[in-house]
Structures are given as C-alpha cells and as structure tokens.
Amino acid sequence: MTLVTECRLRVRYAETDQMGVVYYANYLVWMEVGRVELCKACGFNYRDMEREDASSWRWPKRTADTALPPGSTTKSSSRRG
C-alpha cells in the first residue's frame, strides 16, 4: 500500500537567490513540511512521536561521534520492476 499526500507551498522571495531560483537547502525544509503532513494523514502526531524518542537524544553529537537514530521500517512484499 502506498500512501501519497500533497501539500502545496508557494515559493517565497526569501527562499530564492538573485536569479529567482530556490536555494537548495530549502528543499529540506519543504520535505519536513511533507513529512508532518504524511504523519497527520497516517493518523499520528509527529510531536507525540518526538516526545517518545526524546530520551535517546539527551546529548548533542559532535564530529566523529556515532549516532543510532530511532526508527523502523517494514519490509514491503511488492516489487516494482
């Protein structure tokens, strides 16, 4: 099963360079907006999920530190080909 959500955003002047092209880092911000909307469509609140996992991120990470981000995936039985 594939769940697709759509969230339209208007490009703001502050997100572009002098030629009117969106600065690449803004795409990450927009992906975050999409992730929150997908979470809502799946029936859970992203903030609640953060609260559950907050205890594993007590200290900031530094260069060359290792990190184990919380999360999981499920294996899909369908294949595209």
- Measuring CA to CA, how many Å separate 33 from each of 11, 15, 38, 40, 42? 13, 15, 9, 11, 14
What is the CA 50 to chain-centroid distance, rounded?
Answer: 12
Q: What is the pLDDT of residues 35-78, one digit of tens each?
A: 888 888 888 887 777 776 655 556 777 787 777 666 555 555 55
Per-residue model confidence (pLDDT) at position 57: 59
pLDDT of residue 25: 93
Give pLDDT, residue 75. 57
Q: Which residues are catalytic?
A: 17
What is the reported pTM? 0.57
Domain residue ranges in the chain: 1-9+20-49
User: Does residue 32 have a pLDDT over 80?
Assistant: yes
For range 2-24, the mean pLDDT: 90
